[in-house]
Amino acid sequence: MKRQNVRTLALIMCTFTYLLVGAAVFDALESEEETAERRRLEAKSQELKSKYNLSAESYRELEWVVLKLKPHKAGVQWKFAGSFYFAITVITTIGYGHAAPSTDGGKVFCMVYALLGIPLTLVMFQSLGERINTFVKYLLHRIKKCLGMRRAEVSMANMVTIGFFSCISTLCIGAAAFSYYEHWSFFHAYYYCFITLTTIGFGDYVALQKDEALQNKPQYVAFSFVYILTGLTVIGAFLNLVVLRFMTMNAEDEKRDAEHRALLTRNGQASSIHATDTASAAPAAAAAGGGGGGFRNVYAEVLHFQSMCSCLWYKSREKLQYSIPMIIPRDLSTSDTCVEQSHSSPGRCPETPSNRCFCNARRSAISSVSTGLHSLAAFQGLMKRRSSV
């Protein structure tokens, strides 16, 4: 099974396991409190009905009026400041639910606006986060150099640590500010900031909904807008640093597999060409003598090596069939060349020391460590070996 499929199945199983664990924990923590709260509210409703002599229908009507009045307790929601606040919650997918369009035209425009605005906002925050990470990495590198540290490179651990503490600091600053303006406890204000900046947006805590703050406190309104956008940028930078690296793993594996398949295809074509050349060269090698043909047979059995020096010698041919060959430098290229040249014109083979590589005297294209082989026109004695390396 492909590595990408295994990873995807593992992620699916981990996600569902995580959901089951979360459901069990929330059930244990919230179930009893919910039951107790419902009993208290039912008892209070019965008390109000008996106290004010309300029928069941009158009480339901009163409930409906109270629920409808709740959004208006914060003041006018659809002036420019309130509309801007609503637009932020739409395109950032926070969605508090504190306000919602009531007209059909508003609902249609909200859908179209979200359809275009959400992708734009996601791309913007990710791009801005990437730029922030690049700037922080450059700044940290300069600081390390100024401090005279031996290793000035910025590691991934450094960036993750800075990103983590930046997120914590952003949440703490927002919690302090909202606890002051909204008269919440620090814990509840921190909870509000976390739910907002992670774009969960339950709506149980919503800023700017008291004392008509949208109209009467412009400084607080401006701070809230700037904080939400800045906090989302910081969170986006941290996610860009940590999460996107894992999100692109499948794409990187697919690219690596495609390159591997292309390499195997190219090697397969090279093997077929080699087989044709070997079949055509066999009669000539037999006529010339056993020495040169023996070297060609050895080279033919090591096609699985992508690149190697031409100056190699191997164990016996029989051992090559059962084990990886031991590669030891030796002047084989000279000996093989001499075998070929000795049959055509004796005495023309140059004498070279046994411990000297022919490739060192004059560079051969097949002594390169690259997989590409250049022209061997200058070495006619090595031309026939090109297809077997």
Q: How crowded is the C-beta side of 242, counted as CA atoms within 13 Å?
A: 15
Alpha-carbon distance values, 160 to 83, 137, 242 (Å): 36, 11, 7
Q: How crowded is the C-beta side of 220, counted as CA atoms within 13 Å?
A: 18
Name the token pair of 94.
């926070």
Report pLDDT for 333.
Answer: 42
Which own/partner pairs from 4-8 qualify as long-range (CB within 8 Å, at least 24 positions apart)?
Answer: 4/250, 4/253, 4/254, 7/249, 7/250, 8/250
Backbone angles phi, psi at 83, to 5 degrees: -65, -40
CA 340 to chain centre: 56
Report pLDDT for 20.
Answer: 98
Report pLDDT for 271.
Answer: 67
Report pLDDT for 279.
Answer: 55
Element at 75 (helix H, strand E): none
Q: Which residues of the chain have pLDDT under 70?
A: 244-245, 247-250, 269-389
3-state secondary structure 176-243: HHHHHHHCCCHHHHHHHHHHHHCCCCCCCCCCCCCCCHHHHCHHHHHHHHHHHHHHHHHHHHHHHHHH
Judge contact between 383 and 389, C-beta under 8 A.
no
Judge contact between 205 and 95, C-beta under 8 A.
no
Judge contact between 190 and 171, C-beta under 8 A.
yes
State how beta strands 328-329 and 312-313 pair.
antiparallel
d(CA 136, CA 255) in angstroms, rounded, equals 30
Place of tokens 């956008």: 229
Number of Cβ within 10 Å of residue 82's Cβ equals 19
How many secondary structure helices (H) and strands (E) does the chain include? 13, 2
